[in-house]
Amino acid sequence: MATRSGRSRKSTEDIVETIKGASNRRMARSSSNRAVLSAGNSPRTRSAGQQVVAAIVIEDDDDDVQASSPRAFAQARSSGRRRPPTASGVQIPEVSLGLRLGPADSFSPAMRAHRNRAGGPIVATPPIRRPLTIDLTSPSAANDDCVIVRESKAPQVVKRKIAPAVLVEGGEQAGQASKELKLTCPICLDEMKEETSTICGHVFCRGCIQGAIAAQRKCPTCRKRLTSRSTHRIYLTAKLGS
Amino acid sequence: MSTSTPPQKTLSRIAANRLQKELSEWQINPPAGFKHRVTDNLQRWIIEVNGAPGTLYSCEQYQLQVDFPENYPMEAPQVIFIQQPPCHPHIYSNGHICLDILYDSWSPAMTVSSICISILSMLSSATQKARPPDNDRYVRNCRNGRSPKETRWWFHDDKV
C-alpha cells in the first residue's frame, strides 16, 4: 500500500511536469495511466479520474491517443482495488478547465457503459475496438509480457542466420583462412564452375550436369529422373562475411 | 582370370582430370581395407582388397581391376576381380561382379573409393561362400573376354 500511494503521488508529479513541459509524449502517456490508477471507486471520483485522462488525451492530439487511453482504461479496470481519491484531480489546475470538462462529458458515458457491462454485447462502441491496439514501445504492467516475447525472439533469429554460415566455413578446409565459399562439383571433383542446380536441389557445374543428364537422364546424387530443362543456373555470393 | 581386353580409347581430358583428383584423394584418404597398386597407367587401376575382419573373407586378399572408359565418369568403369576371385553368391568365377552400381545404377557422382566400399560391403554381408547358381552357364557365355558391362544383369538380391 505504501508503494502504491507513493506511485500515485509520483504520478501526480509526473502529470504536473508533463503538462507543464508538454513535450515528451511518452511521459504523458505513462502519467495518464497512473492518473487512472489513482482514481477512486465512487462514481464521483471515477469521473474525476476520467477527467484527468481526458485532459491528457487532448494534449496528445495525434494517433498515440488511441494507444494510450484504452490501455490506461484497461489497467484501471484490471486493478481490482480502487484507492481513495488523491489530490491528483485537484493538483492540476494549470490545464484550462474548459478543455478538461468538454471531452470529459463526451467520454464519460461510453466508458461508464463499458465498465458496467455484465456480458452485455457492446460491440460497436469505441472502447471495445480500441484495446486491440497495444502499445509495445513503453513497457508497463499491461504489456510486460509482450516486451518479453519480443526480446526472446530476437536472439533466436540471429542464431539461425549465423549457424549455416559457421557450418559451411567449418566444412571447408579448416586450414584456409579465406572466407570465400568454395564448392566442389561431385562429378568433376573440381571447383564448381557455373553452379547449376537440378530441380531436386543438387548442385553441379553447368557442363557436368548437362553431360550427366545427356548420359543418364537422372540426377547423379539422388537418381531423380531429369531432362535438360530440369536444371537452372544459380548464383551464389562468394563472401561469407558476418 | 584377368579379362585383359584393354580399353580402346584413351581418356578424355575431363576423365583424366577427374581420375587425377580421385587418385590424389585416395592417397590422402584411402578406403579402409584397400590398397592401390602404383602403376603409371591412370586408365587401369589395380586395387588390393583385404577381407574385413570378422567376416567370411577376413585375412583373405583379392585383386580388383578397374578400367575407365573414355567418357568416365559419365560412364561406369569396368570392375572385375582378377586372379582368384572370392567365392561369393554374386561374384562369378571369371571375376565378374553382379552389383547394380557397376552397371544400371552407376552415377557420375560415385568414385572408385565408393565402389570399393560397396564391394567390401557386399563381401562382408555374405552368409555363405558359394558361387552364383548360374555360374557355369554365365562363364561359358563370356568365353572370349566379354566385358561384364555387356551382360544384361538381373539384380534380384538386395541382402548380400
Given a cut of 50, the residues of chain A with pLDDT beneath it are 1-61, 64-68, 84-90, 92-93, 95-126, 128, 142-177, 242
**pLDDT at residue A89, as a whole number:** 46
**pLDDT at residue B146, as a whole number:** 85
> With contact defined as beta carbons under 8 Å apart, do B148 and B97 qualify?
yes
Q: What is the mean pLDDT of residues B36-45?
A: 93
Annotation marks residue B98 as catalytic: yes
C-alpha of B52 from chain center: 16
Over residues A159-170, the pLDDT tens digits come to 444 444 444 444
Neighbours of A134 (CB within 10 A): 12
CA distance A54 to A99: 9
Angle formed at CA B112 by CA B106 and CA B114, multiple of 5 degrees: 70
Quote ipTM for the complex: 0.86
Minimum CA–CA partner of B16 in chain A: A188
Are the Cβ atoms of A216 and B18 closer than 8 angstroms?
no
Closest CA to A32 of A84, A69, A60: A69
**pLDDT at residue B158, as a whole number:** 79
Residue B29 cell numbers, joined: 584418404
Over residues B100-159, the pLDDT tens digits come to 999 999 999 999 999 999 999 999 999 999 999 999 999 998 887 788 988 888 887 877
Q: How far is A191 from chain B (nearest CA, A)?
A: 11
**pLDDT at residue B70, as a whole number:** 95
**pLDDT at residue B71, as a whole number:** 94
Are the Cβ atoms of A220 and B109 closer than 8 angstroms?
yes
Tell me phi and psi for residue B28, to 5 degrees.
-75, -45
Minimum CA–CA partner of B25 in chain A: A189
Sheet-wide strand order for B61-67:
B34-37, B44-50, B61-67, B78-82
CA distance A107 to A126: 10
Residue A121 cell numbers, joined: 454485447
Residue A210 cell numbers, joined: 548437362
Residues in B closer than 8 angstroms to A190, CB to CB, are 17-18, 21
**pLDDT at residue B74, as a whole number:** 96
pTM over 0.80: no
Residue A35 cell numbers, joined: 492518473
CA distance B83 to A140: 85
Q: What is the mean pLDDT of residues B24-37?
A: 95
Are the Cβ atoms of A215 and B75 closer than 8 angstroms?
yes
**pLDDT at residue B46, as a whole number:** 97
**pLDDT at residue B69, as a whole number:** 96
**pLDDT at residue A59, as a whole number:** 47
Are the Cβ atoms of A189 and B105 closer than 8 angstroms?
no
CA distance B100 to B148: 11
- How many Cα atoms sit within 13 Å of B132 on the Cβ side? 23
**pLDDT at residue B58, as a whole number:** 94
Residues in B closer than 8 angstroms to A216, CB to CB, are 74, 106-108
To the nearest whole number, what is the mean pLDDT of chain B?
Answer: 91
Minimum CA–CA partner of A211 in chain B: B74
**pLDDT at residue B160, as a whole number:** 77
**pLDDT at residue A136, as a whole number:** 53
Are the Cβ atoms of A188 and B21 closer than 8 angstroms?
yes
Over residues A73-115, the pLDDT tens digits come to 555 555 555 554 444 444 544 544 444 444 444 444 444 444 4
Q: What percent of chain B clears pLDDT 70, i.e. is strictly above it?
A: 95
Given B18, B25, B109, which is nearest A221 (Cβ)?
B109
CA distance A15 to A10: 9
CA distance A227 to B25: 31
Which of B59, B98, B116, B142 is catalytic? The answer is: B98
3-state SS track over B33-72: CEEEECCCCCCEEEEEEECCCCCCCCCCEEEEEEECCCCC
